[in-house]
Homo-oligomer: A and B are copies of this chain.
Amino acid sequence: MNTQTLNDTAHKILDVAEFYTQTRGFNAFSYKDIQSDVGIKTSSIHYYFPTKQDLAKTMAARFNERLIEKLTVLTEKHTSPTNRFKAFNKIHVETVSQDKFCLCGMLASDIDGLPELADKELAAFFSIIENWIADTIKDGQQHNEFNKELNPKLSAQSYLATIEGGMLIARAKKDPKHLKKILEETLTRLS
């Protein structure tokens, strides 16, 4: 799926749907909620996304496309893997500061109502981010920034779990610094 061919209105709909999914959850908003914010009627939204499942699928696909872009920028911008992770952590703390949870984390919690989505975009999300973390750990090991005895893949899976759970808890506590502290500790544990 490629979302770059979508027009402005479709992107606007996805923006609003994304916001509601990250703040409330996918099952806690309706086409009517989108209607008010985008300025078109629910029937027009159905023109772009016939079913809510279609909306979810496209939303997750766009999220993954943008995730890949962001991670690539991060890798290119920061030579030091440690600094790369610091920037990476900062993004997640900022998400919580906006009372948001990870989009795919939220979709994962609603997985039972999204059977089609679960097998594709959600799995892709976890792969993309796990691989990036693992590659960054490997890079850090080669640059003597991280402990060479660490298993990059397992450490990456653990890191991702800590981020997702940390976001969930910090958001529930309304305390972004809670996540910040946890991720700082996670990072020091790599060296």
Contacts and interface: CB of A to CB of B under 8 A. Distances in A.
A178 B164 CA distance: 15
A70 interface: no
The residue in A28, A113, A178 that gathers the most chain B C-beta atoms within 10 A of its C-beta is A28
A189 B190 CA distance: 11
Task: Identify the interface centre among A101, A162, A178: most chain B CB within 10 Å of its CB.
Answer: A162
A156 to B, nearest CB: 10
State the main secondary structure of chain A at its contact with B. helix
Nearest to A179: B161
A154 to B, nearest CB: 6
A132 interface: no
Interface string A151-163: 0001101101111
A25 interface: yes
Interface stretch (A33-41, A45-53, A80-88, A166-174): A166-174
Which A-B residue pairs are the 9 nearest by beta carbons? A165-B165, A164-B165, A161-B165, A161-B166, A108-B172, A27-B27, A24-B112, A109-B109, A162-B162
Interface of A: 23-25, 27-28, 99, 101, 105-106, 108-113, 118, 122-123, 126, 154-155, 157-158, 160-169, 171-173, 178, 181-182, 185-186, 189
